[in-house]
Chains A and B, each alone.
Chain A
Amino acid sequence: MSTTVSEGIRIRGVSKRYARQRENGEDLLVLDDISLDIAAGEFISVLGASGCGKSTLLRLVAGLDTDYRGDIGVDGERVRDTSLERGIVFQDHRLFPWLTASQNILAALRNAPLSPRQKRAAVAEHVALVGLQGFEHAYPHQLSGGMAQRVAIARGLVNRPRVLLLDEPFGALDALTRARLQHELQRIWERERITMILVTHDVDEAIHLGDRVVTMAPRPGRIERITTVDLPRPRERGDPRFVQLREQILADFSERTHAGGAN
């Protein structure tokens, strides 16, 4: 909620393991010495297949999980718990089914130091931001998947967090809606210019939206490569540079398949 210069996100040497499930099994190392620096206002795409720990990393940054080794700092402060400064959008929208769309967004403001009038204004503003005017009083089950996800994004943004974390937000949507929402998210980011970390398994999505694409490999989860996407926005998927980047990143995955055998 502050407008002073922020230092961004610092992830240093983060490791997480799950205790072994069986008697003679081994501990499961989910993240292995992850280090990453994210500048304020940057859009980072974290890309990887299932099981590479990208969602786990996001949850650690969000503060939903605090059992890890290493250092995660947002604007110089160590992450100890969740915070209204870090909004989060889940893959299953997780809207409360007993509240309408605007009530769901309002629910995020329950602990915000705003007057009721200010809260209502914020809700209206964010409903407009995600383009859902007219659907304020609809219940989640009355909304399509894409619309519900937009409400979830509005809910994640309404507290004006410094960071927005998105955990495969468009994974449950059809390709056409996904494309539209990616465009929407980009528009919102360009307007609000807050730091965004998007976790996805879709290469195109990662390149389309991110300033940098962090590719992660599984077992144990580690950063494989960080690719800077230097293309001006809006980006064309048909652009040869775009295609080149995609080939580069995909090559990583197929290399891994050939080199490492069964993944």
Chain B
Amino acid sequence: MSKAIGEWSPAAGHAVARTAGETKAKVRARSTSNLQRHARALAWHLAPWLLPAALFALWSIGCERGWIAPQILPPPRMVFDTLCDLARSGDLAHHTFVSLQRVLLGFGAGTLAGLLIGAALGLSRTVESYVLPGFNALVQIPVLGWLPFLLLLVGVGEPLKYILIAHAALVPVTLSTMQGFRQTPAALDEVARVFGYGHWQRIAYVVLPAAVPTLATGVRLALTKAWLALVVVELVASSEGLGYLIVYGRQLFQLDLVMASVVIVGAIGFAINRLLDALEARLRRGQPSAFRE
């Protein structure tokens, strides 16, 4: 569900509104004047901004009137100023860069490893028999569960972050890759047999392309999880990065710093999702997902 603001169009909800007894609305609508219709369209366009605007107003007024102490919730102005300060001093760029670097490298490494392991698991039953059960058992332990273990093993440093982020990415990618390689539709397999494809030809021309949607899903999930892991690791054990900023601000009770960092974290998360949406839409152009069912 990665619809952007303004794209919500619940079909069933719409249908619900139109069930038994609500044809009156239609009759009413037909007799409305142009002005009313325009007003309604305007209201429709502005609706998504209603709630944020109300919350923002509440926030501003609350701080102004002193209902809320600045230690509990700093005024919006302060948060904005802090953001600008961060940007100007270069701190923002520095910490963001550190975080992004960690997430991208970790994600890259984890995804690559995941693709390889997943491919091996998917293509060879032998490998699957030997490796999969152990892998499944290890997967039961979430990334966060490994954190203390790795803390002891590699200490608080860059390796810790990279290992955890890579692990967070590796698990979903491995599982989806394995599944994608395993679940080539039998129908396509038969066509390959009719064409007399050899083992590797089959893998290259049938299994791989057919596995791409599943792979994409896994990679997408991996990026989300990698980002999540990054935030946690930086919150728990880091001296640099956006997560660190949040913790630092929290310890000094500089909530404006905390909120500014949360905003940036959110913005990056949002950007990642949009990017993946666009990428997926592009890749999916030739692949109707129905064929996977």
Q: Is residue A67 contacting chain B, with contact meaning CB distance below 8 A?
A: yes
Tell whether A82 is near chain B: CB-to-CB under 8 Å.
yes
Q: Give CA–CA (A82, B20) in the complex, Å.
A: 8
Q: A67–B26 contact, CB under 8 A?
A: yes
Number of B residues with CB within 8 Å of any CB on chain A? 4
8 Å CB contacts to B: which residues of A76-127? 80-82
What is the distance, in angstroms, from A90's C-beta to the closest C-beta of chain B? 16
Report the separation of the CA atoms of residues A188 and B114 in the bound assembly, to the nearest whole angstrom.
Answer: 62
Is B21 part of the contact surface with A, judged by Cβ < 8 Å?
A: yes
Provide the residues of chain B in CB contact with A82, threshold 8 Å. 20
Distance in angstroms from B139 CB to nearest chain A CB is 33
| Inter-chain contacts of B21 with A (CB < 8 A) | 81
Chain B residues with CB under 8 Å of A67's CB are: 26
Q: Which 8 A-B pairs have the closest CB atoms?
A: A66-B23, A81-B23, A80-B23, A81-B20, A66-B26, A82-B20, A67-B26, A81-B21
List residues of A whose CB falls within 8 A of some B CB: 66-67, 80-82
> What are 8 A-B contacts with C-beta separation under 8 Å?
A66-B23, A66-B26, A67-B26, A80-B23, A81-B20, A81-B21, A81-B23, A82-B20
Chain A minimum-CB-distance residue to B21: A81
Enumerate chain A residues within 8 angstroms of B26, measured Cβ to Cβ.
66-67
* A66 to B26 alpha-carbon distance, docked (Å): 9
- List residues 7-40 of chain B with CB under 8 A from any CB of chain A: 20-21, 23, 26
Residues of A within 8 A of B23 (CB): 66, 80-81
Question: What CA separation (Å) do A66 and B19 show in the bound complex?
Answer: 12
Residues of B within 8 A of A80 (CB): 23
CA distance A82 to B23 in the complex (A): 11
For the complex, give the distance between the alpha carbons of A66 and B20 in Å. Answer: 12
**Whole-angstrom CA separation of A81 from B20 in the bound complex:** 7
Closest to B22 in A: A81
Nearest neighbor of A81 in chain B, beta-carbon distance: B23
State in angstroms the CA–CA spacing of A81 and B21 once bound together. Answer: 8
Minimum distance in angstroms from B224 CB to a CB of chain A: 32
B20, B21, B26 pick with most chain A CB within 10 angstroms = B20
Report the separation of the CA atoms of residues A113 and B179 in the bound assembly, to the nearest whole angstrom: 53
Instruction: Please name 6 further chain A to chain B contacts, defined as beta carbons within 8 Å, in addition to the given A81-B21, A81-B23, sorted by A numbering.
Output: A66-B23, A66-B26, A67-B26, A80-B23, A81-B20, A82-B20
A111: nearest chain-B partner, CB-CB? B20
Question: CA A82 – CA B21 in complex, angstroms?
Answer: 9
- Closest chain B CB from A62 CB (angstroms): 13
Whole-angstrom distance between the Cβ of A112 and the nearest chain B Cβ = 15
Q: Which residues of B lie under 8 Å from residue A66 when comparing CB positions?
A: 23, 26
- Complexed CA–CA distance, A66 and B27 (Å): 10
A261 to B185: give the CA distance in the assembly, Å: 42
